Amino acid sequence: MLSVVVLISGSGSNLRALLDACQSPLFGAKVRAVGADNPATGLEHAELFGVPTFVVDPGRFETREAWADALLANVQHFEPDLVVLAGFMRILPANFVQALSPNLINTHPSLLPAFPGAHAVRDALSAGAKTTGVTIHVVDEGVDTGPQLAQREVQVEVNDTQSSLHERIKVVERELLVDVVRQIAQQQLQLSV
Ligand code: GRF
């Protein structure tokens, strides 16, 4: 059974999709813990499923590195085989990435390498993109630059707002993330950087 720790910052709908999928023993993975950088509303999904949670707030640390060390210690306490960044909105320093690499994956709401960074949906809209989507990738030391594991396209509609487009992307994103974690759990997908 693949043991997974999920890190979130927001509403946790991707986390929820993973928790639901893990209900089936055939899925092959189990969410062991969920962490966040703030008291995110998405932590409620973990609590509903009886999964332990932790919050490591960067505001309580002198440096980003000290924060990341504390976050890493919390993650490693659960001895995960895989760590999933599912809407975790902070850049992780090299020491964190190196400690978990290549078993650290991220979901990003664009077709990378287009529109990396924290405002991928807004940036795709302002660039007038006709198509955007979602990418699941292994995390390396860059921002949204690691090896891609899967991508899926989403069409931009004429009247799309940032929120309508992001909601349609997230429907596809949840399915793709669940599928990638299933493939890793069932050893159909090997991770490397
Ligand atoms: C996702 O689209 C993720 O890729 C992005 O933020 C969103 C998080 O959604 N960076 P949720 O918290 O899983 O609902």
At 94-111, the pLDDT tens digits run 999 999 999 999 999 999
Mutate to test the pocket of ligand 1, among 7, 18, 107 (most ligand atoms within 8 A of CB): 107
Residues marked active site are found at 108
Is the residue at 190 inside a domain? no
Residues of the chain with pLDDT under 50: none
Domains in the chain, number: 1
Give the position, in ligand 1's atom list, of the atom nearest the Cα of 89: 10
Cite the beta strand spans of 113-157 per DSSP E: 131-138, 148-155
What does the alpha-carbon distance between residue 113 and residue 146 come to, in Å, rounded to a whole number? Answer: 10
List the CATH number of the domain containing 81. 3.40.50.170
Domain housing 97:
2-185
Query: Residues near ligand 1 with C-beta < 6 Å?
Result: 8, 10-15, 42, 86-87, 107-109, 170, 173
pTM as predicted: 0.98
Nearest protein Cα to ligand 1, atom 3: 87
